[in-house]
């Protein structure tokens, strides 16, 4: 008999290592959670805020006195098309880059008026950015319990799930970028640069690891320097479609490729409106029907010597 190859031996070892894992059946829990989403989306749309679908959002809004019991809430189950269009706001998430975890953003429709701030924050801490390259830095079960803007200040209160208490010793890169994520999301939702005070589990956070976190003009720039705003992850687009976003690129030079697997189907470059700051860029792509990965990145002036270029990617489908 032949000796198994090294690869084969490794495969067997990995298989064996988890062969005794028999997970608990959890289809019912998943069903309950997805059913809740749809149900809640129903009345939430009715309350005038389109496409908000997380339990955490509901909590936050309920605290502001706009829950299902509010007298001015219209009937539940209003179809999406009949709701006044809501302006999308940036919700920030964390993605890994060549320079460590950085903030990216997705445009989400989260609500109107006083619902925008809690809605955006709740989406930021809930676990489901559309782009699988991104994540929320907060543990599952984190809830937004305060989201207010008054006297030139924004207050954000989070309750972390029971077993995850944040202590000064437990703060790592993930938590620090988590604070930045809250600050950027809160400021974008209020279209302000107001300082943000963070309250965790009822305790005001002033300093952690001697960094001033309570009143928080951010230190350094936690943002990735290339963002694709449109198309969104998973979007189905026409054969001629516009790509737009923000980039802080070397000499404002923004490059892009449309990939199918490893193959570059189309490529090009454009110029952002300004250099040396996050500035808008846009360009139009024409492509035959199919599924693609859209890659937008800056150029690498050091030719591979320095950090890898900033980049953002979206999986998109060009319709028939």
Q: Which of residues 167-186 bind other proteins (CB under 8 A)?
A: 169-170, 172-174
Residue 79 lies near other proteins (rule: CB under 8 A): no
Nearer to other proteins, 85 or 132 (CB): 132
In whole angstroms, what is the distance from residue 198 CA to residue 144 CA?
11
DSSP-assigned letters across all residues of 76-107: S---GGGSPP---EEEEEEEEETTEEEEEEEE
Residue 3 makes CB contacts below 8 A (sequence gap 6+) with none
- In this chain, which of 18, 79, 150, 193 binds other proteins, going by CB under 8 A? 18
Residue 74 lies near other proteins (rule: CB under 8 A): no
Residue 209 lies near other proteins (rule: CB under 8 A): no
In whole angstroms, what is the distance from residue 228 CA to residue 257 CA?
13
Q: Which stretch binds other proteins (CB under 8 A): 73-81, 117-125, 164-172, 243-251?
A: 164-172
Reported as type and span, the H/E element at residue 237 is: strand 236-237
Minimum distance, C-beta of residue 211 to other proteins, in the bound complex (Å): 16
Q: How does strand 134-135 pair with strand 89-97?
A: antiparallel
Q: Which stretch binds other proteins (CB under 8 A): 57-65, 76-84, 131-139, 187-195?
A: 131-139
Residue 159 lies near other proteins (rule: CB under 8 A): no
Minimum distance, C-beta of residue 67 to other proteins, in the bound complex (Å): 22
Q: Are the CB atoms for 177 and 103 separated by under 8 Å?
A: yes
In whole angstroms, what is the distance from residue 55 CA to residue 37 CA?
7
Q: Which residues bind other proteins (CB under 8 A)?
A: 7, 10-11, 13-24, 26-27, 29-31, 33-34, 37, 53, 96, 127-128, 130, 132-133, 135-137, 139-140, 164, 169-170, 172-174, 233-236, 261-262, 291, 313, 317
């Amino acid at each position: 008999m032949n000796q198994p190859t090294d690869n084969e031996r490794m495969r067997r070892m990995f298989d064996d290592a988890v062969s005794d894992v028999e997970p608990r059946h959890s289809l019912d829990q998943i069903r309950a959670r997805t059913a809740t989403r749809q149900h809640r989306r129903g009345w939430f749309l009715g309350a005038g805020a389109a496409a908000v679908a997380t339990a955490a959002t509901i909590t936050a809004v309920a605290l502001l006195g706009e829950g299902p019991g509010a007298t001015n809430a219209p009937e539940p189950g209003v179809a999406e098309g009949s709701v006044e269009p809501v302006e999308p706001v940036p919700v920030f998430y964390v993605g890994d880059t060549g320079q460590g975890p950085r903030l990216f953003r997705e445009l989400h429709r989260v609500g109107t008026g006083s619902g925008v701030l809690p809605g955006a924050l709740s989406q930021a801490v809930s676990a489901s950015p559309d782009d699988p390259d991104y994540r929320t830095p907060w543990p599952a079960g984190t809830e937004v319990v305060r989201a207010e803007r008054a006297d030139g200040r924004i207050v954000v209160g989070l309750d972390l799930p029971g077993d995850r208490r944040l202590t000064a010793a437990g703060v790592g890169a993930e938590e620090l970028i988590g604070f930045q994520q809250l600050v950027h999301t809160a400021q974008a939702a209020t279209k302000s640069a107001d300082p943000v005070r963070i309250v965790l589990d009822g305790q005001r956070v002033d300093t952690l690891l001697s960094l001033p976190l309570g009143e928080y003009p951010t230190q350094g720039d936690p943002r990735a320097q290339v963002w694709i705003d449109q198309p969104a992850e998973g979007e189905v687009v026409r054969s001629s479609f516009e790509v737009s976003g923000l980039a802080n690129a070397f000499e404002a030079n923004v490059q892009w490729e449309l990939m199918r697997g490893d193959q570059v189907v189309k490529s090009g470059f454009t110029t952002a409106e300004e250099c040396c700051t996050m500035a808008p860029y846009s360009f139009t792509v024409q492509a035959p029907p199919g599924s693609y990965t859209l890659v937008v990145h800056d150029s690498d002036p050091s030719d591979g010597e320095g950090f890898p270029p900033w980049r953002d990617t979206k999986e998109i489908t060009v319709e028939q």
